Amino acid sequence: MTPLNTLQQKLKQQTANLFYTDSPQTIAYLTNFYSDPHERILALFVYGEDSVLLVPELEVSEARKNEHIGQVIGYRDEENAWHKLRHAPFLVQAERYWKIGIETDQLVVERYEELQSLFPAADFINFTPSINEMKMVKSAEEIQKLLKAGELADQALEIGMAALKTGVSEREIVALIEFEMKKRGASSMSFDTMVLFGDHAASPHGTPGERKLVEDEPVLFDLGVIYDGYASDVTRTVMYGKASEAFLSAYSSVLNAQRSAQEQVSPGVTTGELDQIARELLTKDSFGQYFTHRLGHGIGQSVHEYPNIAAGTDLPLCKGMCFSLEPGVYIKGQFGIRIEDCVALTDKGPLAFTQTSKELITLPLQS
């Protein structure tokens, strides 16, 4: 059964007549049609056993090749896209559509108002939980794509580590990694590549800049790629030269927290319990106050998807779920350490998408 078929079943279950989305990620998930419309509108309407895709004219020919899409309606830049829908099959009797599913976490107010004008008698219901539920459990094919994206992420780490030398800047390493990933088949990076030196890594989501690498300091890599529509995400913290005792102690604690959480990934364990496992171990080692974010997040076509692996959540894990496990310790003015793998829950337990060693990698000084 295709994702589109599953959605059509969910519409029936919730007695909804129509589903609307203008999220490129959701459209790609449902139809396998990938497009970045930029400021233009790309919208999918699903009703009954049929669907209509509203698409910029320059992408009409590609969209019509897609076997999952019923009808394609194109519009030119000088045209009002919403007016082009006036003669769409589902608008002939717009009053029939009294319950319409939307993604409330994606839909902006301007487009919501356009929908209200098209369907003045409709009630709009939040379909985000249903879409999240569908995306959360990956198929075997999806997991293979995530594994391939993970292989490229491992290569990116290798490239970055090999390029470290005294005096190189964070931005230089980022540029090299991203250039090489393009050459190796990545369509893009899955998010802005992070390469952070020394105390700069004490900001969990710091921005790489002109900071120069000096001897005997750690380097944090957080990166991922998009390959065949699916994302990877990995973090490793390595040592350039000799590590301090304080760094070694913190690294050992983060590594233990990450591995312990990953080892407990199994059906029925909850997302909150995984976070608690890592957080309690770091707290026991007196580093709990420096772990300032959730343990992880879902991953798939987007680098951050449902669910949250966080304190206060209680979603039971099940086969096919894919998510990150990334505890960290960030001590201002000293260093930041994060270790992250993304995994799939399989019949044999957690399957990591990245294989770069999590033991501390110490790199020799280079000039």
Considering the domain architecture, whether residues 129 and 149 belong to the same structural domain is answered as no
Residue 357: which CATH number?
3.90.230.10
Residue 324 predicted with pLDDT over 70: yes
Considering the domain architecture, whether residues 32 and 48 belong to the same structural domain is answered as yes
Give CA–CA dist 262/277, Å, rounded.
Answer: 10
- Domain of residue 108 covers 3-136
Considering the domain architecture, whether residues 146 and 237 belong to the same structural domain is answered as yes
Considering the domain architecture, whether residues 263 and 358 belong to the same structural domain is answered as yes
pLDDT recorded at residue 86: 81
Residue 96 predicted with pLDDT over 80: no
Q: For the chain, what is the HEC assignment?
A: CCHHHHHHHHHHHCCCCEEEECCHHHHHHHHCCCCCCCCCCCEEEEECCEEEEEEEHHHHHHHCCCCCCCEEEEECCCCCCCHHHHHCHHHCCHHHCCEEEECCCCCCHHHHHHHHHHCCCCEEEECHHHHHHHHHECCHHHHHHHHHHHHHHHHHHHHHHHCCCCCCEHHHHHHHHHHHHHHCCCCEECCCCEEEEHHHHHCCCCCCCCCECCCCEEEEEEECEEECCEECCEEEEEEECCCCHHHHHHHHHHHHHHHHHHHCCCCCCEHHHHHHHHHHHHHHCCCHHHCCCCCEEECCCCCCEEEEECCCCCCECCCCEEEEECCEEEECCCEEEECEEEEEEECCEEEECCCCCCCCCEECCCC
Region 155-161: mean pLDDT is 98
Q: What tens digit of pLDDT does each residue of 172-191 get?
A: 999 999 999 999 999 999 99
pLDDT recorded at residue 64: 94
- Classify residue 233 as exposed, middle or buried by CB count within 10 Å of its CB (0-12, 13-18, 19+): buried
Last residue of a domain, one of 119, 136, 153: 136
Question: Confidence band (pLDDT; 50, 70, 90) for 93?
Answer: low
Amino acid letter, 294: R
Residue 92 predicted with pLDDT over 70: no
Region 138-157: mean pLDDT is 97
43 φ, ψ (degrees, to nearest 5): -140, 140
Out of 38-42, 272-276, 279-283, which region has the weakest mean confidence (pLDDT)? 38-42
Region 117-128: mean pLDDT is 92
Out of 9-13, 95-99, 186-190, which region has the weakest mean confidence (pLDDT)? 95-99
Considering the domain architecture, whether residues 120 and 214 belong to the same structural domain is answered as no
Considering the domain architecture, whether residues 101 and 240 belong to the same structural domain is answered as no
Considering the domain architecture, whether residues 281 and 190 belong to the same structural domain is answered as yes
Region 258-280: mean pLDDT is 98
Considering the domain architecture, whether residues 44 and 167 belong to the same structural domain is answered as no
More confident site: 93 or 180:
180
Region 27-33: mean pLDDT is 95
pLDDT recorded at residue 180: 97
Question: Confidence band (pLDDT; 50, 70, 90) for 91?
Answer: confident
pLDDT recorded at residue 98: 82
Q: What tens digit of pLDDT does each residue of 246-261 get?
A: 999 999 999 999 999 9
Last residue of a domain, one of 116, 136, 156: 136
pLDDT recorded at residue 95: 64
Give CA–CA dist 221/134, Å, rounded.
Answer: 31
Considering the domain architecture, whether residues 294 and 202 belong to the same structural domain is answered as yes
Considering the domain architecture, whether residues 52 and 159 belong to the same structural domain is answered as no
Question: Confidence band (pLDDT; 50, 70, 90) for 205?
Answer: confident
Residue 29 predicted with pLDDT over 80: yes
Question: Confidence band (pLDDT; 50, 70, 90) for 40?
Answer: very high
Residue 32: which CATH number?
3.40.350.10
Contact assessment for residue 41 and residue 24, using Cβ atoms and an 8 Å cutoff: no
Last residue of a domain, one of 136, 165, 187: 136
Give CA–CA dist 311/276, Å, rounded.
Answer: 7
Give CA–CA dist 367/357, Å, rounded.
Answer: 25
Out of 94-98, 159-163, 200-204, 279-283, which region has the weakest mean confidence (pLDDT)? 94-98
Number of domains in the chain: 2
Considering the domain architecture, whether residues 39 and 51 belong to the same structural domain is answered as yes
Considering the domain architecture, whether residues 48 and 146 belong to the same structural domain is answered as no
Closest CA to 299 of 258, 259, 345: 345
Region 319-334: mean pLDDT is 98
Average predicted confidence (pLDDT) for the chain: 95
